Structure 1
C-alpha cells in the first residue's frame, strides 16, 4: 500500500514538473526551476533550535533566547546563500556520441556561472553517480560529462538530470531537475551468431583478402583506428606528416551485401546484432560493404561514413 502511494505521488509530481519545466536545449535556473529544503543535517539543526527554545522558555533564560534566535537567523541567511548558489546558472545540452547497447552514453553539459561564483555543485541523472563541479570566478564556464547506461538500441533520451548544492553550511539542500533536449543513438550490441560470408551478387564464397593484387590503388585517406598496419603509408609518417592509409578500388566480387535474409532462424534483435558485428569486421578489414534489411537498402561502399550509415540504419530499424 505504501509503495503504491509513493508511486502515485511520484507520478503526480513528475506530471507537475513536466508542465513547470518542459524539455529544452538551454535554460537558466530560476525560481520556477529551483527547490530548497533542509538537508538531514539541517533537520538536526532545526531540532537543536527547538530544544534550545524549549529550554529558554522553561528557564526564562534571556541568554539562551538570544543564542536560539541568533542561530535561527543564521539558518535564514543560509537559505538565501544556498539558493543564490544555483540561481542564474545557464545549462546547455551538448553532444552525445553514439554507443553500442550495454555501454554508458556520455552526455556533455555546458554550464555558465553568470554574475557570481558557484561552489560545490553536483550533477547526475537519476540513480547515477554525481559529478562535482565548481564555477569560479564569476562568469566562468565548464563542461561536465554525465554518464547514462544504455539498455537497448534506438534513439535514447536520458530524461531529467539533477543539479544540487548544499553550499555554504550543508544544512540546506537546493536542487533543480531540468530536462534538457538530449538524445543519443544506441547501436545494436555486436554479436557473432553466424559467420560472415561473401554475399556479393556474383555468388558464394568467404571473406575476400584485403588489398588483393587485383585491387587498384586509388589514393590516401587519414588513418582510422582498426585499419590494417599493412595499409599504413609509413613514408609520409616518417616525414612528420599525419598518419595516412592506402586506399584500393575493389572489384565488384569483393563487395559484400550484409543481408537480413542470410540470418533465417534468428530473432529480430539477434539478426541486427549479427549484422552489426559483420559491419564492424568489414570496416576493420577495409572491405566495401552494403546493407539489405526490410525497407532499407544501402549501396556498397567503404570507410567510416559507410559504417556510420549502416550502424544508424540498424539502430533505428
Structure 2
C-alpha cells in the first residue's frame, strides 16, 4: 500500500513538474525550477534550535536567547546562499553518441556559470552516479558527460536530470529537476547467433576479406573518409602525391546481402542482434554489404557512413 501511494505521488509530482518546467534544449534555473528543503543535518540543526529556545525560556537566560537567535539568523542567511548557488545557472543539452544496447549512453551537458562562482554541484540522473563539479565565474562554463544505462534498442530519452547542492553549510538541500531535450540512438546488442550466408552463391561460408587485395587491380583514386587504410598507396604519399587508394574490381559474388528472411526460427530481437553482428563484421573486413528488412532495403555499399545507416535502420525497426 505504501509503495502504491509513493508511486501515485511520484506520478502527480512529475505531472506538476512537466507543467512548471517543460522539456527544452536549454534551461536557465530560476525560482520556478529550484526547490529548497532541509537536509538531515538541517533537521538536526532545527531540533537543536528548538531545544535552545525551550531552555532559554525555562531559565530566562539572555545569553542562550542570543545564541539561539544568532544561529537562526545563520540558518536564514544559508537559505539565500544555497539558493544563489543554483539560481541563474544555464544548462544546455549537448550531443549523445550512439551506443549498443547494454552499454552506457554518454550525454554531453554544457553548464553556464553566469556572473558568480558555483560550488559543489551534484549533477546526474536519478538513481545513477552523480558528477560533482565547481564552476569558476572567470571560466564561465563547464562541460560534463552524464552516463545513463541503455537497456533497449531504439531512441533513448533519459528523462529528467537532477542537479543539487548543499553549499555552503550542508544544512539545506537545494535541487532542481530540469527536463532537457536529449535523445540517443541505441543500436541492437551485436550477437553472432547464426553464421553469415553469402546471398550471391546461396551458400554458407566465410566472409571474404576485401583487405587482401586479391581481386583484379583497376587503378587509383583519391582517398575518401571511411575507406580501409590497407588500400592506401603509401609510396605515392611518401612522394608528396597525396593520399591515393588502390581500386579493385569487385565481383557481384563478393557483395553480401544481410537478409531478415535468412534468420528463420529466431525472434525479432535475436534477428536484429545477429544482423548487427554481421554488419560490424563486414565493415571490419571491408566487404560491401546490403540490408534487407521486411519494410526497408539498403543497397550494397561499404564505409563508415553506410555502416551507420544500416545500424540506424536496425535500431529503429518497428
Q: Same fold (TM over 0.5)?
A: yes
Distance in 2 (alpha carbons) for counterparts of 1:246 and 1:20? 60
Q: TM-score, normalised by structure 1?
A: 0.93
CA offset digits 1:39-79 (Å, max 9, x no partner) = 11111111111111111111100000000000000000000
Q: 1:216 aligns with which of 215, 218, 231?
A: 218
Residue of structure 2 in register with 1:204 after alignment: 203
Instruction: Compare 213-222 and 91-100 and name the one that shifted more.
Output: 213-222
Q: TM-score, normalised by structure 2?
A: 0.92
Is the 8 Å Cα contact of residues 215 and 250 (structure 1) preserved in structure 2? no
Offset at 1:139?
6.1
Q: 1:182 to 1:242 in 2, by over 3 A?
A: farther
Residue of structure 1 in register with 2:128 after alignment: 128
CA offset digits 1:194-218 (Å, max 9, x no partner) = 0112113x54353223232335355
RMSD: 2.2
CA offset digits 1:21-50 (Å, max 9, x no partner) = 111011100011000011111111111111
CA offset digits 1:140-159 (Å, max 9, x no partner) = 10111000001110001000
Residue of structure 2 in register with 1:291 after alignment: 291
Residue of structure 1 in register with 2:145 after alignment: 145
Distance in 2 (alpha carbons) for counterparts of 1:47 and 1:239? 81
Is the 8 Å Cα contact of residues 33 and 176 (structure 2) preserved in structure 1? yes
Offset at 1:85?
0.5
Is the 8 Å Cα contact of residues 114 and 137 (structure 2) preserved in structure 1? no
Is the 8 Å Cα contact of residues 83 and 174 (structure 2) preserved in structure 1? yes
- Please, which runs of 5 or more residues in structure 2 have no aligned partner? none
Superposed, which structure 2 residues align to 1:1-317 within 5 Å? 1-138=1-138, 140-200=140-200, 203-204=202-203, 206=205, 207-210=207-210, 211-214=213-216, 216-219=218-221, 221=223, 230-231=230-231, 233-235=233-235, 246=246, 248-317=248-317
Offset at 1:138?
4.7
Q: 1:188 to 1:15 in 2, by over 3 A?
A: same
Distance in 1 (alpha carbons) for counterparts of 2:223 and 2:60? 86
Q: 1:282 to 1:27 in 2, by over 3 A?
A: same
Distance in 2 (alpha carbons) for counterparts of 1:49 and 1:221? 75
Is the 8 Å Cα contact of residues 135 and 141 (structure 1) preserved in structure 2? yes
CA offset digits 1:176-199 (Å, max 9, x no partner) = 000000000000000000011211
How many residues are matched?
314
Distance in 2 (alpha carbons) for counterparts of 1:241 and 1:164? 57
Instruction: Compare 246-255 and 261-270 and name the one that shifted more.
Output: 246-255
- Please, which runs of 5 or more residues in structure 1 have no aligned partner? none
Partner of 1:51, secondary structure, is helix
Distance in 2 (alpha carbons) for counterparts of 1:303 and 1:127? 38
